[in-house]
Amino acid sequence: MMGKAYLVGSGPGGLGLMTIRAREVIDSADVVLYDQLPGEEILATLPESAERIDCGKYGGSHTLEQHEIEALMVERVKAGKTVVRLKGGDPFLFGRGGEEIETLREHGISVEVVPGVTSAIAVPEMVGIPVTHRRYASQVTFITGHEDPTKPESALDWEVLARLKGTLVILMGVKNLPAIAAALTAHGKDPATPVAIIERGLRPDQRVTVGTLADIAEKARAAGVRPPAVIVIGGVVELYVGGEGQATP
């Protein structure tokens, strides 16, 4: 008998911001494929009876490649298992959930997607930065800071992004932050535009580093900023009052 697959968003971190449906599905799983983004608090509650498969990426090293993750999901579901692919934030916002659902459907596998609270909004707001504000930003744009390296060219139009008057929120952008800041300023964005980097959002060691497009890359380097982190660019960063580099409780 064929099993079932679930693509589950665990939210931005911590059990309190995970949905009830996500909890139900995780607790019913025979197999959980997870990465490090859900955080230790959530990972500690994975059912002991389930097969737990680490799919994380650590320092650029992939425990499993994407095609291997998808093959494991297909194999376990066809063996009759209830399979949960557990992701941080929401599965469909730069979480490769779209690729996974395509593969599962190609194999005739039933899939349920469980939405999660996205870190792109929740992490900034938990340190007092709204991604929209009537005085600062009437639009928000989410972009990835790490595109598929096999693409012949970037899908990001930096000229357009530099002209936008709203907020830019970048996920997976720590490594490429110097290039991102340089591209935006080269295409006309004001070097004095405020920037905030929120590392390890909603975790006990959460930290915020603020600066401008002109100096944020150097400040991040000096502070030893590391992923996972959410980068916010725009006037809304002025609403952050925690202080530069301060760890926020």
What would the pLDDT profile of 120-163 be if each residue is shown by its tens digit? 999 999 999 999 999 999 999 999 998 765 666 678 999 999 99
Q: Using CA atoms, how far apart are residues 124 and 81, in angstroms rounded to an integer? A: 37
Q: Which two tokens stand for residue 24?
A: 């139900």
Helices (H) and strands (E) in the chain, counts: 8, 12
SS3 (DSSP) at 143: strand
Give yes or no for a contact between 177 and 231, defined as CB atoms under 8 angstroms apart: yes
Alpha carbon 117 to its chain's center: 10
Tell me, what's the pLDDT at 249? 32
- For the annotated catalytic residues, the residue numbers are 35, 57, 172
| pLDDT of the residue at 1 | 86
DSSP string covering 167-223: EEEEES-STTHHHHHHHHHHTT--TT-EEEEEESTTSTT-EEEEEETTTHHHHHHHH
**Below-70 pLDDT ranges, the chain:** 58-62, 148-153, 243-249
pLDDT attached to residue 126: 93
Its pTM stands at 0.89
Q: CB of 100 within 8 A of CB of 33?
A: no
